[in-house]
Amino acid sequence: MPGADAIVPPLRELASHLSELVATRDFHPPGHCSFTAQGGPWPPHCVIATPGAALHPDIDAIAYVIVSKGTDPALEQYSGFDGTGLGDLLRARGVRRVIIGGLATDYCVRATALAACREGFATTVVLDAVRAVDLKPGDGDRALDAIRSAGGRVCTQAEILRASPE
């Protein structure tokens, strides 16, 4: 995705002020239902055992937990909470607030943030730590509006750090 690496510095900076970083990732088997060859909307991506499935090394180095989604070839999972046990994991660790960055604003970030709101977590999406696919112009902005409508907060890394998230 163009500009994808630009989300890493704000995520690293935020992580240095937080107690835990949970990374979610697409981790698809070959022939996943979301791939165009199977009638899905996406080219093959994040295929297990390929470089495309690896987290960015700077995120991999600081992630306390890695949650994989999209591992069932017949099931699309945009949200990091969908069938992964992430909500229970966070509650077991006493987490009440989640701060979300990643790819893509209009798909996985949107779905994860909306699920976090439904799960009862105070949810913030970091504007400078997300990028949209924007298949239709404005999809990213509409995703952020949906997150706000669900009770989520959308702000910059600097705004979060000024508010002392710990």
Q: Is the pLDDT of residue 156 over 60?
A: yes
Query: What are the pLDDT digits (tens) for 39-96?
Result: 999 999 999 999 999 999 999 999 999 999 999 999 999 999 999 999 999 999 999 9
pLDDT of amino acid 165: 47
Domains of the chain, by residue range, sit at: 4-158
Average pLDDT, the chain: 95
Give 106-153 as a DSSP string: IIIIHHHHHHHHHTT-EEEEEEEEEE---SSTTHHHHHHHHHHHTT-E
Q: What is the mean pLDDT of residues 150-157?
A: 97
> What CATH number has the domain spanning 4-158?
3.40.50.850
Q: What is the mean pLDDT of residues 9-36?
A: 95
Angle between helices 110-118 and 139-149 (to 10 degrees): 10
- Cα–Cα separations (whole angstroms), residue 154 to 53, 116, 131, 147, 148: 27, 14, 13, 8, 7
pLDDT of amino acid 163: 82
Q: Which two tokens stand for residue 116?
A: 């976090």
Instruction: In whole angstroms, give the CA distance from residue 164 to residue 166.
Output: 6
